[in-house]
């Protein structure tokens, strides 16, 4: 199925499904094989796109550092000069809002509803809704 997802949505999905408490990682929850397959395929597709998004973020940071308007701290965080924070935030936000046309594997309504009837978080429910047919 075709889906249009913004960069920040892709990051949220990946973060949600990679969480150690996610239904995807819960060995006591017996996911049907078609659901497991769809999640694997979608994670691969989304991870590839997330890498491009992260590369774009690194480019913005590098540009600000090279221009002398930002530094990267020892812990990896970015310290942007006060006068350049609005410009930096604008570029990061614009990148987060870029839309991606993706081909994702769908999960049947029946399978998604079975999983959602279990003990899952709201974020996990949102992911399943995005993956539903």
Written as one string, the DSSP assignment of 39-62 is HHHHHHHHHHHHHHHHHHHHHHHH
Question: Where are any strands of DSSP class E within the chain?
Answer: 2-6, 70-72, 78-80, 99-103
CB 96 within 8 A of CB 7: yes
pLDDT tens for residues 22-77? Answer: 877 776 677 788 888 999 999 999 999 999 999 999 999 999 999 999 999 999 99
Handedness of CA 38, 24, 3, 57 (dihedral sign): negative
What are the φ/ψ torsions at residue 33 (nearest 5 degrees)? -60, -35
More reliable by pLDDT, 99 or 132: 99
């Amino acid at each position: 199925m075709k889906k249009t997802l913004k960069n920040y949505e892709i990051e949220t999905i990946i973060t949600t499904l990679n969480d150690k408490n996610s239904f995807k990682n819960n060995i006591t929850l017996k996911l049907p094989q078609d659901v497991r397959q769809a999640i694997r395929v979608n994670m691969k597709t989304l991870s590839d796109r997330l890498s491009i998004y992260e590369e774009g973020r690194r480019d913005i940071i590098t540009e600000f550092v090279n221009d002398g308007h930002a530094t990267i701290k020892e812990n990896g965080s970015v310290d942007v000069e006060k006068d350049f924070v609005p410009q930096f935030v604008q570029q990061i936000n614009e990148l987060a809002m870029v839309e991606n046309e993706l081909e994702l594997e769908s999960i049947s309504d029946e399978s998604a509803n079975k999983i959602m009837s279990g003990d899952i978080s709201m974020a996990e429910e949102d992911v399943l809704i995005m993956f539903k047919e």
